[in-house]
């Protein structure tokens, strides 16, 4: 869960993005920036190292992200570095996502299955989840062969589990109660 500091920074960027009509593109750019820091943690460590002067940190940000992200996003990264909050970039991205999804009426749904779902089934599941949530749905399919069959659907903080593995565990538990 994002800290209050991360939420405030994310909300500030979101408000600017919304004023510019760039909420979605800022989200995509912020996600790409966070991904760069995840893939290159030593780069993030460099930006959080106190012994490296701020101008050097800001110069490296400009070289890496200049021309690749909106100027406001770049300035946001420079500000985070100046305020020694760049280490919170993943939390800030998540808080921005939460605000963006809330404002745009988007729900993120994860469907966990034993094998990958085909495009047809994914489309039907997306349509069903749109009807259930009354929101635009971003659907991800994750594969977990341990499920044996069935599906586990996660929407926000809720989970619907109709997997074979869970059903077998329930039957085993019932059998234990009968025998005991």
Q: pLDDT of 60-91, one tens digit each?
A: 999 999 999 999 999 999 999 999 999 999 99
Which helix (H) or strand (E) segment holds residue 107: the answer is strand 106-113
pLDDT at residue 5 tops 90: yes
Judgement on whether residues 87 and 144 belong to the same structural domain of the protein: no
Q: pLDDT of 123-148, one tens digit each?
A: 999 999 999 889 999 999 999 988 88
Q: Which residues of 67-88 are buried (b: 16+ CB within 10 A; e: fewer)?
A: eebbebbbebbbebbeeebbeb
Q: What is the token pair recorded at 75?
A: 């300035």
More confident residue, 179 or 114: 114
> With contact defined as beta carbons under 8 Å apart, do 147 and 165 qualify?
yes
The CATH number linked to 146 is: 3.40.30
pTM of the predicted model as reported, rounded to 2 decimal places: 0.80
Q: Which residue has the tokens 């780069």?
A: 43
Judgement on whether residues 68 and 91 belong to the same structural domain of the protein: yes
Phi and psi at 159, nearest 5°, equal: -140, 135
Percent of the chain with pLDDT over 70: 98
10: domain range? Answer: 4-102
User: Of 144, 149, 143, which is closest to residue 116 (Cα–Cα)?
Assistant: 143
């Amino acid at each position: 869960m994002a800290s209050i500091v991360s939420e405030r920074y994310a909300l500030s960027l979101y408000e600017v993005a919304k004023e510019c009509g760039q909420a979605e593109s800022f989200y995509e750019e912020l996600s790409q920036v966070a991904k760069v820091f995840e893939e290159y943690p030593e780069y993030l460590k460099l930006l959080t190292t106190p012994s490296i002067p701020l101008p050097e940190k800001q110069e490296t940000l400009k070289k890496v992200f200049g021309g690749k992200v909106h100027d406001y996003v770049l300035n946001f990264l420079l500000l985070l570095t100046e305020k020694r909050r760049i280490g919170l970039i993943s939390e800030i991205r998540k808080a921005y996502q939460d605000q963006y999804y809330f404002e745009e009426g988007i729900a993120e749904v994860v469907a966990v299955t034993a094998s990958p779902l085909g495009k047809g089934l994914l489309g039907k599941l997306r349509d069903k989840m749109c009807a259930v949530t009354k929101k635009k749905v971003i659907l991800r399919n994750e594969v977990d062969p341990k499920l044996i069959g069935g599906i586990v659907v996660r929407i926000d903080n809720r989970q619907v589990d109709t997997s074979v593995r869970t059903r077998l565990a329930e039957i085993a538990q019932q059998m234990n109660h009968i025998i005991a």
